[in-house]
Structure 1
Amino acid sequence: MSAAVAPAGTGTGGRGSRPARTARTRAKLFEAAITLLGERGPAHVSIDEIAAAAGVSKGTVYYNFSSKADLVAKVLESGVDLMEERLRTIPDGSDPVDRVADMVGRALEFLAEYPSFTRLWMSEMWRPSSQWHTELTALRDRLLGLIREQLHAVADAHDVDPAVPVDQLAVTLMGSAMFAGLSRDTHGPALDRDTAVAVVMAAVRGWVRG
């Protein structure tokens, strides 16, 4: 599968319809943008390069996005939309700890499938002066909300260490998964999926007592 993050809401209409062509054009732009942005960072990628990589004119880029900053923001939002969709499909009924592990596994699969998005997310998330700090904070909070929801379910079902704040554990879990995903992409798959999940889950399993 392509390493691009498809924009949210790009459903197609009838064959040859303008909505369908627009959706395909936006998908090509996102594919080109996420690859270049993930490899070199937004500051080192121009609209001309994105247009050339997508096989469209520069005017087409500006027809779909008001600016490069708008394009980057939409790429980040669409990646989080896709990850959130995957994390929300975890089936109910199993032990909450197992559901958290399932969430971690799905997150790692997503990060492996979209390595360029992972690099872009990590580089901009930890850059204090990022132009997209406000957008990234909101997107981060969305993902943390999902993690906290699952951790609260663990706390309701198990005896957990009260000295460990759920909010901080959620941040640790998210950061560990992101770092593991980036490390596997950058330095090779040193850990298989199950081992990577076990490593990331160590903090949660240590939190549960007995």
Structure 2
Amino acid sequence: MLDRYDIFYGISKDTKEKLLYWIYSTLFSFIVLLWINDQKGFLFIKTATNSREFFSLLLSVFFLGLIMYFIAVNVLIYKDIKRFKKRDKTLFIYTRFLNDSQKVKVLKKIYVRKYLYTLLSGNAENQEVTLSEQQWKYYHKKLGTPKTLILKLKFLHLVEKKIKEEEPLKDKEIDFVNTILFSKEDLELLRKLEKDVKNKRIFNKIFGL
């Protein structure tokens, strides 16, 4: 039985990229084959007599290859999810109270996200983030406007406080804790931000990154 965690976090980034390649390639091939072959049939599998038929033949063979490629991608998805369920998903949090080991892992993830959101919301004290207008738009498109980030920071503070003071988590907070626990996007964005920002000294305090 699959759930959203299996799909979002069970499938590796490499497999997702392969799946996107298959989707875009299949869509492109399908449209072009319909346009080229017109009323002659969808696929052209016979000896080509001119350049148009030769291109149609190559595209038809490529389209048939995509069917085999889709089977391979499905095998990769199955292996990723199976590995995720066996290894990572056993770490999922289902209770309203976290044990000491869970606290350490979740709080570290929260600190990373808080740091990222603080920098991009413009609320970082004594820290200057120098980005181009295009770069600001990229991060705000990914994470939200400065006002949105401030609201998200308030929620992060709330969850952090509950975990530290051992208050029971609500259902939506348990979902959030699991989501942030298995998300890799924060670290990826933080590393990208580190490259984009000229003054890299602001990253020295973040868990040895």
Q: Choose 1 or 2 for highest CA Rg.
A: 2
Structure 2 length-normalised TM = 0.28
Structure 1 length-normalised TM = 0.28
